[in-house]
Structures are given as structure tokens and as C-alpha cells.
Structure 1
């Protein structure tokens, strides 16, 4: 059985494919359309996009034009990090749905707890509670089958959980070998929230690490395959991105197991090596 057909169960009972295809930094138009088309052809059934990526329309068109029925593709999009009002959430969600041309979204995430220019700020605690109220209303409408967050640390999660009627289903964070955010990951999992890993290849930086290359050689796999499998064996959902059709296919070949000792070695890598 392909890993692409395996799923995690979200805390609302919905199933989410264990490996997603990321579209961050893929330009709108033909690049995104072709990449998503190739991903679906390779067997991916989980596509991740965001309003901030400016490629939602191409993602939606590629899914519509594919041989795969819409209901068989799990699609995630995200609320812009700068949107911090109830009305703004509703407006941006409607804009996302129009761009994708969907009647529902499988997962809708708050892209960050702060506007990008104010990374780490806690000044938005009250605003994030207002945002989450709007997210809950979208969820209760049925237009989003699940809701969650991205880039939320322990403080930001507690701020939401303290008032939430609907618990976030997902926290999507930067996560890769040598950079696993142990405190955030543990708190997220302890609260029944799935951790998703964006940049599981450290935005390409893992390819420069000789230790990882040697380990990949040992298993007869690519660095990308090793990095993705590392994430999966930590019960985290990876979102690898690729634009080359061969790389897209190769990233799905994950039928091997990393030993406990090698998992520990990968865990102990210094994230500072990768930027």
C-alpha cells in the first residue's frame, strides 16, 4: 500500500492523507498548474496552498482538470497572517473559495499568529481569539471540513484553546531533521492536534549536509526521501514541494524504515547548519 493512500485521523474524526504536496514559492499559472497536475498523477491526494502564495486559482484549476474527483483530494488553504478581524477572515475565506472555485475546503488554517513583519509578537492575542471565532463559524457552516493554525507556538495555542469551542485540528510548523521544535511539537500532540511539517527539506538546505547524504546513501534513497521519511516516523505530516516531475514521483517512494539509532542522529543534527 502506498504511503499516499494512508491517513492520519484528525481530532474531529476526519481523515487526512499522511503526505501532502506543498505549493509554497511555486509561481501562479503554468508552474503551479503543472506541478499539481504531476503530483496528482503521481498519487498525491493532499494539496497545500494559501492565499499568500497567490496560486490558489491554478491549484483549483489543476484539480478540476485532473482525472481525480474533487472529493478524493484533500485541499488546505490559509488565511493571510495580516488578517486579524472577524470580518476580514470571512472576506478572505470567500476570496479563497472563489479563487479555488470550490464549494468546500478540507482544511483552513490561520497562517500565523502575527503579521509577517511582526514575527513573535504577542500583541495579537485578543485579535487571534476574534479570528478563531470566525474560523469556528466557517467550520460550523460546513464550508471548511476542518480548521487549524500555522506557526503557532505554545503561548499562541493556549490563547486559542482557552476560548475555543472547536479545537484546532492541525498546527503547521517549520519542521525538519535538526529542527523539530520539541516544545511546540509536544504541546501540540499532547492536545490532540496533528503537527504538519512545512519545509521538511529545510527549503533545500538539507541537500548541502554531508552527514545526511551519507545516511541517504546507506539506505539507497535520496536526501529528500530520507528527510520526508524522518518526518513521518516522528508521526508528523510532511509537505514536500517539488516542481520537477521526476522529483515529485521520487518523493513518494518511501517504502523503507530508518533505524532508531539513525532517527536519533537526525534528531540531534543542529538546525543552525541549515539556516
Structure 2
């Protein structure tokens, strides 16, 4: 029998997760119930996803075998206070919030439940997400495998120690924003050189996509791959020199460390 999936929250990330499990055949629309605050959001998501939506978080918690808390972190306490007496001991809670530890959920629910922490990222919206995962001792290996299989519909996932979850927030959770800025900057330069903007975005974005794929599929060190592009006395090595002089490495490092610091304080 297939598991019933509940999603409290159906914003960008919740919608991406639902779309992924449906598109991959990991679940059927009839197996999913989601909640959304506004009527317009419920109508829009019902039409786009073909699932049932409600304004009642408690009904989602009561329906689900696996309950995804897909709201923003600042709403977690409010949502948990609303559903904590409805969630059963056999239900699996899946969090996507940074900074909310496994022990924090015990405190908020007032008892120890089956909780899995995840940190997805927005590329899940196009089926190319990256997700860190950890779970408490109440979650069995079979239950964990079930959730990982569901998530594989929209994201790659790796099990990590909980102490590294804040690092995941910095290295993959927030980093798409840095990459988008990099693509935008490259496109701006291409436009300055005379290329139409829409074409500039295509060239810049595809270059980033292809470069990332080379890192993942060749197994080569990023520095080695960089050297493959940098011909002696060529154009690329001169561009790399400018990036080094302008502090690209240190800026990225400092940005990620700032993100990590904030995440640890949440």
C-alpha cells in the first residue's frame, strides 16, 4: 500500500517537492493532501498539481503517513502548536527548515516522534536539487529509505551527521543565489560586448551547467578542470588572474561562512 503524503505549505519548495514525486511516479495525486493559507493559492495549486488542498493543517496531519513541514522556519512553532495533538506516534515528520535541530522538535511536540531533517534547495524546482538528510533514532532504516526514495524524484540526497546540517545550508541551500549572481554578472558582460540579453543568459547559464556536470562526472579536481581551460598566455588565464586579484575566492568563502554563522544561530 502506498504511503499517504501530507504537505503543510505549498509554496515554491513544497510545490517543487510535490511535482517531483508525482512526475517520478513515486506517489499518485490521490495519495497527497496539502495545505495553503489563501483560497487563490489552493485553487492554483489544485489546478497545476491535480492534488487536493485544504486550509486546515490538522486535517493534513491526520491524513498523512509522512508529513512534510514545508513552511518557512519562522512559522514552524505556530504550525507545530496547531498539529502536535493530531500527529500520531507512527507518523514520520520531515522538516525542510534550517536551524531546527532534531532535539528542538522533541521540545516543540512535547514528545519524541519520528523526525527526519532535510535541507533541500531551489533547483529541486527543475528536478536538480541537492539535499542533506539526517534522522533521529526513532526512524527505522526502512522508513528512511522510503523518504529518500520519495525525495529522489526531485533531488539528489546524501545522509550527513546532524552537526553538518548548517554547512549544507551554506554550501547548497543558499548557494544557488550566489550562482545566479555569477550568471547575471557574466551575462551583463556579454551584453556589454554586444550580445542580446536573452542569448547572454543562455550562454552563461549553459556554461555553468556544463561546468558543474564536468565536476560531478569526471571526478577531476576543480583546479585541474580550471587548468584545462587556461592555455598558456591565453585569454582565460588573464580572466582568472582578474578574478583572483578582485578576491573572488575570499568573497565566496566569507559569504558562505556568514551564512553558516547565521544558520547556527537560528
Question: TM-score by structure 1 length?
Answer: 0.31
| Higher RCO structure, 1 or 2 (CA under 8 Å, sep 6+) | 1
Higher helix share: 2
Question: TM-score by structure 2 length?
Answer: 0.32
Which structure's CA Rg is the greater one? 2
